[in-house]
Amino acid sequence: MDKIAILSGNAHPELAKNICKYLKIKLSEALVSRFSEGEIRVKINENVRGKDVFIVQPTCPPTNDNLMELLIIIDALRRSSAQRITAVIPYFGYARQDRKDQPRVPITAKLVANLLTTAGANRILTIDLHAGQIQGFFDIPVDHLFAVGVCMDYFLKMKMDIQDLVVVSPDVGGIKMARAYAKRFGASLAIIDKRRESPEKTEAMHILGDVENKNAIIVDDLLATGGSLIEAVEALKKAKAKTIYAAITHGVLSGPAIERLDKCKDLKELVITDSIPLEDHKKHSRIKVLSVADLLGEAIKRIHNEESVSSLFD
């Protein structure tokens, strides 16, 4: 492992340290700060010539700052003669802008893919993309991991009765992820049919599937303002679900999310991953954070050793 280097920007240094702990290597030293006028300053403080370099930098809020840091670090590494540069982006920002759903709007996810490739990234490693087709926006290899195993381990330790368990997709778009959970649990599947009134507001309609007197786990890739989640919880409670949990990979928790969670007493626990750092003011007694450091660490080890990453999905 002497030919591998792990670097981190300012987005999530704690995750980078935990990945290094798993790999039993030290985090490489790099200066990522600001000049007096606010421009990003980057300097790699050790030799990376001929090394396989991995930059851990989720493009979470502040999205533009973290993305720009990532691009500049990639450029610095390319100019330092790194052999291969892999951008480890546990949470891929701008992923929701993956298509033209209105006239005269950009496809920003594609633009970000182009920027990363042009900057000099040779490979991308990410978790639970909002839309799987974003992999096709890149002209370089993309390793797309799933957090289902991490979340499942946690719920299996609760020793829930599978007969009383139902996995719920909060909308039609999340069926694929919900089906993956349901298949692994051997549980039934339910879908909430909803109508979106605006980008921030949704109205839950009716539930496809049986949830009465069952423990429900709502699964999704992303939680922003929490509107969809709260609507789903209310719909499930109305349909006489017994206990309601949520397993969301990326806890963005923007805007009124924490306030909404605080008011929603019917949601027993919200399980998220540390793909995005949870700030102190967002911590809550009903939020449980699971680490994806071991998952990313194992993927990094396999990529470095030219081994199969797909076996991590089993």
Catalytic machinery residues: 194
| CA separation for the pair 168, 136 (Å, rounded) | 28
State the alpha helices, DSSP H only, in the chain: 13-23, 63-79, 108-119, 148-157, 175-185, 227-238, 257-263, 293-304
Tell me the one-letter amino acid at 241. A
> 277 — phi, psi (to 5°)?
-65, 135
131: left (phi over 0), alpha (psi -120 to 50) or beta: beta
- Please count the other Cβ atoms lying within 10 Å of the Cβ belonging to residue 22: 16
Token representation of residue 175: 């069926």
> 280 — phi, psi (to 5°)?
-55, -40
Q: Looking at 28-159, which runs of residues are DSSP E strands?
A: 30-34, 40-44, 52-56, 84-89, 123-127, 142-145
Q: Which residues 6+ apart lie within 8 Å of 136 measured at CB?
A: none
Asked if residues 188 and 165 have their Cβ atoms less than 8 Å apart, the reply is yes
| CA separation for the pair 146, 292 (Å, rounded) | 10
C-alpha pair distances (Å), 147 with each of 226, 243, 287 = 20, 22, 17
| CA separation for the pair 290, 311 (Å, rounded) | 21
Q: Is it true that the peptide bond before 62 is cis, omega within 30 degrees of 0? A: yes
